[in-house]
Structure 1
Amino acid sequence: MNNRIEKGDIVVINKSGKYYQQVGEVSEVDYNIFFVKIVLVKLSNQEEAFEEKDLQLKTKKPSLQEIIVSVDTILEQVAQIAHLQAKEKVELPNRLKYLKLDIPKLDKQLIQKNFDSIDRILVTIRETDSSASFWQEIDPNLEKISWWIRTSL
């Protein structure tokens, strides 16, 4: 595992004081005039700057490969949904396949458009059947894709 702290990673503040043991997401990485790595961390209601040595990596943001696996996992789960309407039965798998093809291109607008459509369709499906077991696989993978889009593009 790469232990370098990068934008999108989840970190724990190790520096004693006001923010000790708080968890946040890295929103920016920069260097000061002495070439010390300064990390801007988004905490619950504000952003604060810390030196990298004051942070502990908790979770790396998902890699490109992990995102493609997440799309494949959602595709597999979608195939198991029995009560899809005809339009959803065609559109949802197609949108997922397009998303999978678009991710390596890193085209933010195209990726965001497909992701928003997928999310909208899944919200509609959830309204009819929110307790089905396939949501246990879909939800974390959808969240992982959302995290990657927010922090990588």
Structure 2
Amino acid sequence: MDGRIEKGDIVLINKSGKYHQQVGEVSEIDYNIFFVKIVIVNLGNQEANFEEKDLQLQTKKPNLQEVIASVDKILEQVVQITSLPTREKVELPNRLKYLKLDIPKLDKQLIEKNFDSIDKIFAATREADSSASFWQEIDPNLEKISWWMRTSL
């Protein structure tokens, strides 16, 4: 794992004090007048600034290849969803394929539009069949795509 802390990474705060041992997501990177890297960490309902040396990297944000692999994993699961209406049986795999093609282009509007449509179809499907085993594969992959979108676009 690359040790450089970047926007979107999950970090643990090592600095003693108010935020010691808390985990947060990096929302911004800045530098002070002495060119020391300052990392702004989102800690739920507040943000705090830390020097990079006061943080320990927990999880790197997903990269492009991981996000595309997540779309593929979701596509594999879609065939197992028997409760999909006929229209969604066609639309969902198509939207996922378009999303996979759009991700490398980094077109925020296109990616968000497709992801929102996919999310709505899954939300309706979850109401019909929330206990199915395919959700164990779909949910973490949707979260990974959402995390990447939030931190990369």
Give the whole-Å Cα distance in 2 for the aligned partners of 1:112 and 1:86: 24
Match of residue 100 from structure 2: 100
- Aligned partner of 2:42: which letter? K
Structure 1 residue 79, shift from structure 2 partner = 1.2
Give the whole-Å Cα distance in 1 for the aligned partners of 2:121 and 2:82: 15
Provide the secondary structure at the position in 2 that maps to 1:124.
Answer: helix
Match of residue 141 from structure 2: 141
- Aligned partner of 2:67: which letter? I
Alignment of 1:3-152 (within 5 A): 3-152=3-152
Give aligned pairs, total: 153
Unaligned runs of 5+ in 1: none
Provide the secondary structure at the position in 2 that maps to 1:72.
Answer: helix
Structure 1 residue 82, shift from structure 2 partner = 1.7
Unaligned runs of 5+ in 2: none
* RMSD value, Cα: 0.5
Structure 1 residue 30, shift from structure 2 partner = 1.1
Give the whole-Å Cα distance in 1 for the aligned partners of 2:150 and 2:21: 24
Structure 1 residue 60, shift from structure 2 partner = 0.3
Give the whole-Å Cα distance in 2 for the aligned partners of 1:85 and 1:50: 50
Give the whole-Å Cα distance in 2 for the aligned partners of 1:116 and 1:93: 14
Provide the secondary structure at the position in 1 that maps to 2:91.
Answer: helix
Give the whole-Å Cα distance in 1 for the aligned partners of 2:123 and 2:43: 28
* Percent of aligned pairs sharing the same letter: 81
Where has structure 1 moved over 3 Å in runs of 4 or more?
Answer: none
Structure 1 residue 83, shift from structure 2 partner = 2.3
- Aligned partner of 2:14: which letter? N
Provide the secondary structure at the position in 2 that maps to 1:80.
Answer: coil
Provide the secondary structure at the position in 1 that maps to 2:114.
Answer: helix
Give the whole-Å Cα distance in 2 for the aligned partners of 1:115 and 1:139: 13
- Aligned partner of 2:140: which letter? P
1:22-72 Cα distance to aligned partner (Å, 9 max, x none): 000000011111110000000021111000000000000001000000000
Give the whole-Å Cα distance in 2 for the aligned partners of 1:45 and 1:146: 19
Provide the secondary structure at the position in 1 that maps to 2:117.
Answer: helix
